Structure 1
Amino acid sequence: MSSLTDNVNLSAFVHDVLNGLGSTSLILNQLINGVHGLSQEEVKSLLSAVLQTNNRIVNLVEAQKVNPTNFVSRIDMLFFLQNLYLEFSPLAQARSLGLHYVTMQKYKHGTTVVGDTTGLERMLSNLLQNAINYTESGDIFLRLANQDNNLVIEIEDTGIGIAPENLENMFRPLWRSLDSQGSGLGLYVVKSVAIAHDSQETHCVESEMGVSSKPKAKAFFLRLLTTRSRYRCS
């Protein structure tokens, strides 16, 4: 069983590295083809996105070589999510999607948490990548808000949604729905990161199939306690 788990975790690691490399390749092709212009000012944001993705991959590889607790640190989530927004904006734009970063003017206890930077990058990158991959048109919202004394991260999209009968299985390793083209590893990473942070609950999902009065297909929520490294759903 341990060997099987190790193999799945290795596959998940490779999955995340390849996702990052794929994103970089897409942006570099856009730059080569002059899709966003040729001047330094026009392509600066894309170059920043490539650098951000490269740094994320390097952090992920480095984390495999040492004790993961070495990467636990204080994280300003406002700045952290801003970097993810800048990194994934060109990918959303390439699919004619709107990616929006929504914040508040003031946070009750600030925006700093203690956690595993690499783990959070893996978790949120997979959720954003999934949102982009499975949203044919519309918008994706990355939000940072307050709930009681905690910070809440929400990723909402107007994609295809998740059938209610699939909610129980969606975080299982290698599981895929019939209409999925993915590897079945992205949401497994999301759950694994939550478990690694001693979460009592590993996910919260709202999902609607078809058309609703509000075009909301699904939303993932993550609640972060600002005083210690512990993650719970909102």
Structure 2
Amino acid sequence: ARLARDEAQRANQAKSTFLANMSHELRTPLNAILGFAEVLQQDPSLGPLQREHTAIITRSGEQLLHLLNDILEMSKIEAGKAQLHQAAFSLRAMLATAQKMFAAAAQDKGIVLHLDLSPTLPRYAEGDEAKLRQVIINLLSNAIKFTEQGSVTLRASHHAGRLSISVADTGVGIAPEEQSALFEPFSQTSSGVRSQKGTGLGAGDLSTVRADAWRQHHRGKRPRTRHRDGL
């Protein structure tokens, strides 16, 4: 049994190393593509159709970059090297930027993307901005992917020193018996496999952040996930 466990650990380590190396190798040409796409978007001689095409290149490249970041993060988690970096950051600006990142994707699907910030929400917070942003991006990406009509809402509030961030949508929902797999890496629920493709990374990286997460399944709505960072 010990030999089998050691072999499984070595295989898992080899997989994590391969994923990390591939992620790094792919990021270099992808960053070049995104950089030149940004330069093209600033060219005043471009027509409306050309600007639309460069915007599509940028959005697609950003989605791929997020996927690579997820893969790299999961390889760190499996290798036990994931760390949190505490620092002050602009909370409201980060949330607004996350919403803007998916505004075009939501518009393309004909759904409404709301940003609901409580008046009590502080302007600045202290925590790992990159990890929190990554979690929010994953949740928004999943919500938009599985919502065919209606809306997606990114909501944030602050009460008694506790930060609560949720993503709610009117998508297909996840059955209660499948919710236990929601935060497992490289897994999908059957409701998502039928009509959507993906890596199954989803909310798997929530396990590395000091957070409480809960799911709510009600009348076809997908789960709402709450993230709490140290404030």
* Identity over aligned pairs, percent: 22
Counterpart check, 1:183 vs 2:199:
yes
Partner of 1:143: 155
Distance between the aligned counterparts of 1:162 and 1:2, measured in 2?
32
Counterpart check, 1:7 vs 2:19:
no
In the TM superposition, 1:147-186 aligns within 5 A as 147-179=159-191, 180=193, 181-186=197-202
- The CA deviation at 1:156 is 0.5
In the TM superposition, 1:6-25 aligns within 5 A as 7=15, 11=19, 14=23
Q: CA RMSD in A?
A: 4.0
Rg: which structure is higher? 2
Distance between the aligned counterparts of 1:102 and 1:10, measured in 2?
40
Correspondent of 1:219 among 224, 227, 230: 224
Amino acid at match of 1:38: P
- The CA deviation at 1:130 is 0.3
**TM-score, normalised by the number of residues in structure 2:** 0.65
Q: Deviations over 1:87-144 (max 9, x none)?
A: 111111111111011112343xx24222222222221111110001101111000011
SS in 2 for 1:175: coil
Distance between the aligned counterparts of 2:105 and 2:86, measured in 1?
28
The structure richer in helix per residue is 2
**TM-score, normalised by the number of residues in structure 1:** 0.64
Distance between the aligned counterparts of 1:106 and 1:69, measured in 2?
29
Give ranges in structure 2 of 5+ residues lacking alignment. 1-7, 42-46, 74-80
In the TM superposition, 1:85-100 aligns within 5 A as 85-100=99-114
Distance between the aligned counterparts of 1:164 and 1:150, measured in 2?
27
In the TM superposition, 1:1-234 aligns within 5 A as 1-3=8-10, 4=12, 7=15, 11=19, 14=23, 38=48, 53=62, 60=69, 71-107=85-121, 110-179=122-191, 180=193, 181-191=197-207, 193-194=208-209, 197=210, 199=211, 201=212, 203-210=213-220, 216-226=221-231
Q: Deviations over 1:139-192 (max 9, x none)?
A: 00001112322221111111111100011122222222223232221221233x
Distance between the aligned counterparts of 1:9 and 1:208, measured in 2?
40
The structure richer in strand per residue is 1
Amino acid at match of 1:204: W
- The CA deviation at 1:225 is 2.8
- The CA deviation at 1:38 is 2.3
SS in 2 for 1:219: coil
SS in 1 for 2:157: strand
Equivalent pair of 2:120/2:157 in contact (CA under 8 Å):
no
- The CA deviation at 1:219 is 1.0
SS in 2 for 1:185: coil
Distance between the aligned counterparts of 1:84 and 1:9, measured in 2?
29
Tell me how many residue pairs correspond in the alignment.
Answer: 190
Equivalent pair of 2:135/2:206 in contact (CA under 8 Å):
yes
